[in-house]
A = this chain, B = another copy of it.
Amino acid sequence: MERRKFLTTAGVGAAATALAAPAIAQEAPSFAWRLTSGFPRTLDTIWGAAEVIAKICSDATDGKFQIQPFPAGEIVPNPEAVDAVSSNTVEMAHTCSYYYIGKDPTFALGTAVPFSLNARGMNAWLYERGGEDMLNTFYAKYNMIGFASGNTGVQMGGWWRKEINSVADLAGVKMRIAGLGGRVMEALGVVPQQIPGGDIYPSLERGTIDAAEWVGPYDDEKLGLNQVAPYYYYPGFWEGGPAIHTFINLDRWNELPASYQAILRSACATANQDMLAKYDARNPVALRSLVAGGAQLRAYPEDVLTAALTAANEIFTQISSENEDFKTIWESQTAFRNEHNLWNQVAEYTFDTFQIRNRPRG
């Protein structure tokens, strides 16, 4: 606690210098901020985005704007990252907005809700259709501002001990899945379980749970789930293009010089693109390795997807009837999703279809 206090005080001192400095000298002010990540170092791709942001901010200011990232739990208990940023215990967090749906389901829309946008659609909505501004109007209630800083792309649909041939096979299945994805699965008969990442393997091995979703091939491979649940389902329809956010305490943000704000925003945008590139580069290698290690790829049956879409729309409608923030943002996101899919189906989809079909030709 001593250390935390010291650093926080140092940050405030630096900010005061920043306010006074421009009138008298060109010297750039110094900031030493702390960032709590929602992820452990072992998830190097998603954790790494915080390091990318910190490096750009430091490099761009000759080391004057320092951000020190800490893994989940090291300085702030992971479920409290948003509270820690709100209260200025730390200046920043890099985490998933949807971890905080317990406070307000609107937080889900900053990351992903079932059957929403893919990664490109999410970026177009965030940057060009007012998504980021709408989210920041909401985040301001928590004294935070947020910028998209990473995307995994469509996630996988999880590891199952048994095959799923229709909705009927879901009845009573205990699946590790959280959030609104869990609520949709629950509507289809699944019994959702909330289990930390590190406990997934033993839980599946002992049969305490029957299925578990994690991320995608690159992260999933590290958990070795193919050894205890051979059926690897896709797509993770509850996470079509999940955005990971950098949250910044709004007072600290407002104290930053405009130049540092510009640097941090550009760093977040860079990290956003960079994380997706990392997943896209690493997932194919991991997928091959998992299949070689016994993973059996299965697509979710069409009736499961269709029932899940119906359930999701009912859940969204119900939440919207009770929550004006959710309603406003969800309607914007859904309207753009429909437009995006209209365009996506023309040039992108037909190009990808041909490329995929002709892959064996090299």
Q: Which residues of chain A have a CB within 8 Å of any CB of chain B?
A: 25-28, 56, 59-62, 115, 118-121, 123-129, 153-157, 216-217, 234-237, 240, 257-259, 261-263, 266-267, 269-270, 272-274, 276-278, 280-285, 287-288, 297, 299, 305-306, 309, 313, 334, 336-356, 358-359, 361-362
Q: When A62-B259, A263-B266, A345-B356 are in contact, do A350 and B287 touch as well, CB less than 8 Å?
A: no
Q: What 4 A-B pairs have minimum CB-CB distances, sorted nearest first?
A: A128-B281, A59-B262, A124-B280, A235-B351
User: Measured between alpha carbons, how far is A75 from B276 in the docked complex, in Å?
Assistant: 37
Distance of A127 Cα from B125 Cα, bound (Å): 24
Question: Can you sample 30 A-B contacts with CB below 8 Å?
Answer: A26-B28, A56-B262, A62-B258, A118-B348, A120-B120, A120-B153, A120-B276, A120-B280, A121-B280, A124-B276, A124-B277, A127-B278, A154-B351, A155-B347, A156-B346, A156-B347, A157-B347, A217-B343, A235-B351, A269-B274, A281-B336, A284-B339, A288-B342, A299-B350, A337-B355, A338-B359, A338-B362, A341-B356, A341-B359, A345-B359
Evaluate whether A346 and B234 lie within 8 angstroms (CB atoms) in the complex, with A266-B56, A309-B358 already known.
Answer: yes
Q: A128-B278, A237-B354, A284-B342 are in contact. Are A273 and B269 (CB under 8 A)?
A: yes
Q: Which B residues are CB-close (under 8 A) to A153?
A: 120, 347-348
Contact A297 B346 (CB under 8 A): yes
Q: A28-B28, A61-B259 are in contact. Are A359 and B342 (CB under 8 A)?
A: yes
Q: Determine the distance from Cα of A267 to Cα of B338 in the docked complex, in whole angstroms.
A: 30
Which applies to chain A's interface (DSSP): helix, strand, loop or mixed?
A: helix
Do residues A154 and B348 form an inter-chain contact, with CB atoms below 8 A? yes
Bound-complex Cα distance A341 to B352 (A): 8
Q: Which of A128, A269, A336 has the most CB of B within 10 A?
A: A269
Copies of this chain present: 2
A216–B347 contact, CB under 8 A?
yes
Interface-centre pick from A120, A121, A123, A347 (highest chain B CB count, 10 A): A347
Contact in complex: A118, B351 (CB < 8 Å) = yes
Q: Please tell me if the beta carbons of A355 and B263 are within 8 angstroms of each other in the complex.
A: no
Distance (Å) between the CB of A234 and the closest chain B CB? 5
**Are B277's CB and A123's CB within 8 A?**
yes
What is the distance, in angstroms, from A7's C-beta to the closest C-beta of chain B?
23
Q: Which of A257, A339, A362 has the most CB of B within 10 A?
A: A339
- B123 & A60 in contact (Cβ 8 Å cutoff): no
Q: Of B263, B285, B309, which contacts A60 at CB under 8 A?
A: B263
Contacts of A28 in B (CB 8 A): 26, 28
Beyond the given pairs A26-B27, A60-B263, A341-B356, 17 more chain A to chain B contacts, judged by CB atoms under 8 angstroms and listed by A's residue number, are A26-B26, A28-B28, A59-B259, A59-B262, A60-B60, A120-B120, A120-B276, A128-B280, A156-B347, A234-B346, A235-B346, A266-B267, A269-B273, A284-B340, A287-B346, A297-B346, A341-B359
Residue of B nearest to A155 (CB): B347
Taking CB atoms, residues of chain B closer than 8 Å to A121 are 280
